[in-house]
Amino acid sequence: MMSGSDGYFDYNATTPLRLEARQAWLEACERWWQNPSSLYRAAGAAARVLEEERESLAEQLGVEPARIVFNSGATEGNNAIMAHVAASAGRVAFSAVEHPSLREAARRWLPHEATTELPVEATGLLDLTSLSTWLRQNSTASLVSLMAANNESGSLQPWREAADLCAEAGVSFHCDATQWIGKEPLQGLAQCSWITLSAHKFGGPKGVGALVLPAGEKRLRWLAGGPQEGGHRAGTENLPAICAMGAALRAAEAERPQAQTSQAAARDAFEAALLQAFPDLRLIGADSPRLWNTSLFVMPRHRNLKWLTRLSEVGYSVSTGSACSSGREGSSVVLHALGASDEELRRVMRVSGGWHTPAQAWLDLAAQFVETSAALDQGGGLRRIQLGG
Ligand code: PMP
């Protein structure tokens, strides 16, 4: 029998809450429910826990605690950065494959002429030459934004190289590390001027995350109101969620090295099985470095929504692309940037596993694709295969 979340292959959309995170959330709700800004002793304890969580995250990222602003997640962080650049009449360059919360935020906050979309190569990775050219032509009031890992293809962008180029040019660099944190090593992130992240991508709750500011940044005034979060983001802090995020990241980091190796092997075995069954299947992004949990591919036949629906009927959760564009067939900017045709876009599937996905579940999913294919070819019913127990 498939149990619990074994059939869940949409970790890039969100992850189930880790046990450690749940416990930390409950403990904070019970023990530190007071407003951290209040002046009595119990509230002081809540304020201390809040600062401990700030220090813990700061230490993991290798930055000063004052650089951390807790918020509701990466969408909010990406919007705050774009609004901030707009307030100083700056210019922004970002890769063509950024998440909609970055691209749309740039469009929402900045005049069109202040934004530049930098092309990606056929591999989906940023073309660093075009970045260098842009840096030569733009001033220090500017910002470059590049995600660390792509949510659809899992491609690992050359963000360290981009950060170095920006540092040489004296231009701020923002890294949307939402899909990276919890899956790939945190070393080096401290060199980014700005970082955005969301807890629910590594086993924390939804609606909580952090924005890392450049050292000494005093001018960001994202939400007006009280003095919370250094005056950068007003509003009573969601301490239980912040504690749960901290617990989730510590747990994810503890098991990351092992998961990286074993899950990559399981994902590769899944792809090998799929390719054997469907020789015309096209893997995307597999030729360059990518996240160990992600597989993006174009099925040789049938629309992706048909595959998704049939797989869902037998307990598998997969995606036709990012959750932010799912349900809208063929809307993937990333795949267009990778040179996929409109017709191919309708056959794209994304499968993303977790830290504990059993190797057998990956193989079962591949076998279920084969079973589903027979059902789709014949237009008949679908048998739920049982492999390996
Ligand atoms: N950036 C990237 C790369 C993402 O994958 C996501 C979530 N899919 C976001 C930003 C937005 O995160 P959230 O929905 O938690 O605000």
Which H helix or E strand runs over 94? Answer: strand 92-95
- Cβ of residue 310 lying under 6 Å from some atom of ligand 1: no
Please indicate, yes or no, whether residues 280 and 178 belong to a single structural domain of this protein. Answer: no
Q: With H, G, I as helix, E, B as strand and everything else as coil, classify residue 338.
A: coil
Q: Is the dihedral of CA 252, 254, 255, 256 positive or negative?
A: positive
Q: Which atom of ligand 1 lies closest to the CA of 72?
A: 16
- Taking residues 104-118, what's their average pLDDT? 96
- Cβ of residue 147 lying under 6 Å from some atom of ligand 1: yes
List pLDDT tens digits, range 71-109: 999 999 999 999 999 999 899 999 999 999 999 999 999
Whether residue 385 lies inside any domain: the answer is no
- Cβ of residue 332 lying under 6 Å from some atom of ligand 1: no
Is the CB of residue 153 less than 8 Å from the CB of residue 125?
no
Whether 295 shows a pLDDT value over 80: the answer reads yes
Cβ neighbours of residue 90 closer than 8 Å, sequence gap 6 or more: 114, 141, 142, 143
Q: With H, G, I as helix, E, B as strand and everything else as coil, classify residue 317.
A: strand
| 167 phi and psi angles, rounded to 5 deg | -60, -45
Q: Quick one: pLDDT band at residue 337, thresholds 50, 70, 90?
A: confident
| Domain membership of residue 125 as a residue range | 19-250
Domain boundary among 250, 275, 298: 250
Domain count of the fold of the chain: 2
Whether 303 shows a pLDDT value over 90: the answer reads yes
Whether 311 shows a pLDDT value over 70: the answer reads yes
According to the model, what pLDDT value does residue 346 have? 92
According to the model, what pLDDT value does residue 4 have? 61
CA of 122 to the centre of ligand 1 (A): 23
- Taking residues 38-50, what's their average pLDDT? 96
According to the model, what pLDDT value does residue 236 have? 98
List pLDDT tens digits, range 133-166: 999 998 776 899 999 999 999 999 999 999 999 9
Please indicate, yes or no, whether residues 299 and 199 belong to a single structural domain of this protein. Answer: no
Whether residue 388 lies inside any domain: the answer is no
CA of 176 to the centre of ligand 1 (A): 8
Whether 325 shows a pLDDT value over 70: the answer reads no
Please indicate, yes or no, whether residues 150 and 239 belong to a single structural domain of this protein. Answer: yes
Cβ neighbours of residue 106 closer than 8 Å, sequence gap 6 or more: 82, 92, 94, 115, 145
CA of 270 to the centre of ligand 1 (A): 26
Whether residue 74 lies inside any domain: the answer is yes
Whether residue 384 lies inside any domain: the answer is no
According to the model, what pLDDT value does residue 2 have? 55
Which residue owns the Cα nearest ligand 1 atom 8? 13
According to the model, what pLDDT value does residue 383 have? 65
- Sequential DSSP letters for 327-374: TSTT--HHHHHTT--HHHHTTEEEEE--TT--HHHHHHHHHHHHHHHH
Tokens 């127990």 identify what position?
A: 389
Please indicate, yes or no, whether residues 42 and 136 belong to a single structural domain of this protein. Answer: yes
Which H helix or E strand runs over 89? Answer: none
According to the model, what pLDDT value does residue 139 have? 75
Is the CB of residue 145 less than 8 Å from the CB of residue 93?
yes
Whether residue 142 lies inside any domain: the answer is yes
The pairing of strands 294-298 and 194-198 is unpaired
Lowest mean pLDDT among 211-215, 240-244, 382-386: 382-386
Q: Quick one: pLDDT band at residue 330, thresholds 50, 70, 90?
A: very low
Please indicate, yes or no, whether residues 192 and 294 belong to a single structural domain of this protein. Answer: no
Which residue owns the Cα nearest ligand 1 atom 14? 75
Q: Which atom of ligand 1 lies closest to the CA of 75?
A: 16
CA of 273 to the centre of ligand 1 (A): 30
CA of 79 to the centre of ligand 1 (A): 12
- Taking residues 169-198, what's their average pLDDT? 97
Whether residue 387 lies inside any domain: the answer is no
- Cβ of residue 98 lying under 6 Å from some atom of ligand 1: no
Whether 329 shows a pLDDT value over 60: the answer reads no
Tokens 């407003």 identify what position?
A: 35
- Cβ of residue 263 lying under 6 Å from some atom of ligand 1: no
Q: What is the spatial distance between Cα 296 and Cα 152, in angstroms, rounded to a whole number? A: 7
Please indicate, yes or no, whether residues 129 and 261 belong to a single structural domain of this protein. Answer: no
| Active site (catalytic) residues | 324
According to the model, what pLDDT value does residue 334 have? 77
Q: How many residues does the chain have?
A: 389
- The CATH number of the domain holding residue 62 is 3.40.640.10
Please indicate, yes or no, whether residues 265 and 215 belong to a single structural domain of this protein. Answer: no
Is the CB of residue 295 less than 8 Å from the CB of residue 271?
yes
Domain boundary among 191, 223, 250: 250
- Cβ of residue 151 lying under 6 Å from some atom of ligand 1: yes
According to the model, what pLDDT value does residue 384 have? 66
Please indicate, yes or no, whether residues 271 and 358 belong to a single structural domain of this protein. Answer: yes
Is the CB of residue 56 less than 8 Å from the CB of residue 246?
yes
Please indicate, yes or no, whether residues 189 and 237 belong to a single structural domain of this protein. Answer: yes
According to the model, what pLDDT value does residue 326 have? 47
- The CATH number of the domain holding residue 260 is 3.90.1150.10
CA of 256 to the centre of ligand 1 (A): 20
Q: Which residue has the higher pLDDT, 164 or 123?
A: 164
Q: With H, G, I as helix, E, B as strand and everything else as coil, classify residue 296.
A: strand
Please indicate, yes or no, whether residues 65 and 113 belong to a single structural domain of this protein. Answer: yes
Within 13 Å, how many C-alpha atoms sit on residue 285's CB side? 32
Residue-averaged pLDDT of the chain: 93
- Cβ of residue 189 lying under 6 Å from some atom of ligand 1: no
List pLDDT tens digits, range 346-385: 999 999 999 999 999 999 999 999 999 999 998 766 666 6
- Taking residues 9-24, what's their average pLDDT? 98
Whether residue 386 lies inside any domain: the answer is no
Q: Which atom of ligand 1 lies closest to the CA of 98?
A: 3
Question: Bridge-partner residues for 317, per DSSP?
Answer: 8
Domain boundary among 250, 283, 305: 250
Query: Which 8-state DSSP code applies to residue 228?
Result: T
Please indicate, yes or no, whether residues 177 and 111 belong to a single structural domain of this protein. Answer: yes
Helices (H), 170-238: none
Whether 322 shows a pLDDT value over 80: the answer reads no
Please indicate, yes or no, whether residues 44 and 106 belong to a single structural domain of this protein. Answer: yes
Whether residue 135 lies inside any domain: the answer is yes
